[in-house]
Homo-oligomer: A and B are copies of this chain.
């Protein structure tokens, strides 16, 4: 992390996409109690699947919220916007000093494979990375009746690691914790994002005025047999840690364009 002034406690900002009243962020705050100066800036309402949306056409508001950890109250704001908005507003307006580390979560449900792109939890951490801050996102791989205690313990451990070390520039950590008891977790695995996708899935219905509408539904399909993926690690009982980056350039694909003839006449041929 960027070093805080010598002797100062590290400043840790918490965010999420399930909203400031979700149990996951409360569990995260309690789990990190004592590791530094905690503050919470998170959306007022659930913002799942908003991806990296930011609010550019409307104003956003921030409201002070009560937030308690075992050692006492910590500063907290609910923001009427997206997770990325919340991180921006926290760093530019709400906090006196930018945080040393941004931790987003604990999300209810996995953010593995292509869900990284849809996830508001990850986008809060990505936004922090864009702003030049060390960050990580933590998700519990359980949708229904999540028990956050074990994920909180791992969040604490990984945050301690991150506070002691330096993340490469432009790189953040996407952590997925399997829904297992502490003793059934096998350890940590450094992973890559699995190639997988949703096989959708729209259910067409008709409203009382006889107009049709669609509900998105679908099943998640893993197209990737690699054992080094986030999906595989979680399935095998490991806490998956994927280093991710916001540079979306397909650096390894440049050679494929060698024969595209880009260098031909600059004048577009619109005769065809």
Which residues of A approach B to under 8 Å, CB–CB?
46, 48-57, 59-62, 84-85, 88-89, 92-93, 114, 116-118, 123, 126, 130-132, 153-154, 156-157, 160-161, 165, 167-168, 170-171, 182, 185-190, 192-193, 195, 197, 200-202, 204-205, 211-216, 241-251, 253-254, 256-257, 259-263, 266-270, 272
| Copies of the protein in its oligomer | 2
21 A-B pairs whose Cβ atoms sit less than 8 Å apart in the complex: A51-B51, A52-B52, A59-B215, A60-B214, A93-B202, A114-B246, A153-B268, A156-B268, A156-B270, A160-B272, A165-B259, A168-B253, A168-B256, A170-B250, A171-B256, A182-B267, A186-B266, A193-B247, A243-B254, A245-B248, A245-B250
Shortest Cβ distance from residue A257 to the other chain B in the assembled complex, whole angstroms? 6
- Which one, B118, B154, B211, contacts A54 given CB within 8 A? B118
- Which one, B93, B197, B270, contacts A204 given CB within 8 A? B93
Are A117 and B182 neighbours in the complex by a CB distance under 8 Å?
Answer: no
Chain B residues, CB < 8 A from A186:
266
Are B214 and A250 neighbours in the complex by a CB distance under 8 Å?
Answer: no
Q: Which residue of B lies closest to A162 (CB)?
A: B260
Chain B residues, CB < 8 A from A56:
48-49, 216
In the assembled complex, the Cα of A200 lies from the Cα of B168 at a distance in Å of 23
In the assembled complex, the Cα of A129 lies from the Cα of B83 at a distance in Å of 25
In the assembled complex, the Cα of A66 lies from the Cα of B4 at a distance in Å of 59
Q: Which residue of B lies closest to A204 (CB)?
A: B93
Q: A-B pairs with the 6 shortest C-beta distances?
A: A51-B52, A187-B266, A245-B250, A51-B51, A153-B268, A59-B213
Are A257 and B272 neighbours in the complex by a CB distance under 8 Å?
Answer: no
In the assembled complex, the Cα of A188 lies from the Cα of B260 at a distance in Å of 11
From A48, A88, A246, A247, name the one whose CB has the most chain B CB atoms within 10 angstroms: A247
In the assembled complex, the Cα of A61 lies from the Cα of B257 at a distance in Å of 39
- Which one, B53, B54, B154, B262, contacts A187 given CB within 8 A? B262
